[in-house]
Amino acid sequence: MSNIYDFTVKDRKGNGVSLGDYKGKVLLIVNTATGCGFTPHYEPLEAMYKELKDKGFEILDFPCNQFANQAPGSDDEIQQFCTVKFGTEFPRFAKIDVNGETADPLFAYLATEKPFEGFGKGLKNAALNKFAASNNKKYGDKAYIKWNFTKFLIDREGNVISRFEPTVDMEEVKAAVIEALA
């Protein structure tokens, strides 16, 4: 694969969607969960989407239940939760696996392009690192994504330019998106 546009993913109804449909846009691809401590990230994500979508920005949301079973609902239940509780309007795709033998090829590619470099410093980050390490043992060397709300920034040419762990401040994510849009 040469860039993100070579991938096809499934929408919430199971239909194939070519990421080539997003050519020329800046993308933020996120694995999410409805029952995670980072679920409130939906608020700044939606605010960023509303502010920047007319400038060529899209958020692509991929629910995942591989981290402590924090996204147990069906695709329709997850959609309803996100739209009712957070008012999200950005595209949400079918629930996927991001790690292991059943990992979606898109996320295996993303994680290979921008590998995990740590959650950062501080007690909260150290605790998350320990919990994530415990959760990911079952995936061995196929554990590329460490937790929910990992975000990948894609430039207008389809290249992965940044990775943001869930512990990164959303203002930092937004600043990087704005820079990529410039």
8, 6, 22, 46: CA torsion to nearest 10 = 60
Helix ranges, the chain (H): 42-52, 75-86, 105-113, 123-136, 170-181
Domain count for the chain, please give it: 1
- How confident is the prediction along the chain (182 residues), in pLDDT tens digits per residue? 578 999 999 999 999 999 999 999 999 999 999 888 888 899 999 999 999 999 999 999 999 998 878 888 888 888 888 888 888 999 999 999 998 888 999 999 999 898 877 777 666 666 666 666 666 666 556 558 888 999 999 999 999 999 999 989 999 999 999 999 99
Q: Which CATH number do you get for residue 146?
A: 3.40.30.10
Rounded CA separation 164/129 (Å) = 15
- Residues with active-site annotation: 36
Taking only the tens place, the pLDDT of each residue in 22-68 is 999 999 999 999 888 888 899 999 999 999 999 999 999 999 998 87
Distance CA 93, CA 112 (A): 21
CA dihedral over 68, 69, 75, 79, signed as positive or negative = negative
Q: Which residues pair with 153 in a beta bridge?
A: 28, 162
pTM of the entire predicted model: 0.89
Q: What is the bridge-based pairing of β-strands 160-164 and 57-63?
A: unpaired
CB 119 within 8 A of CB 136: no
Range of the domain at 83: 4-181
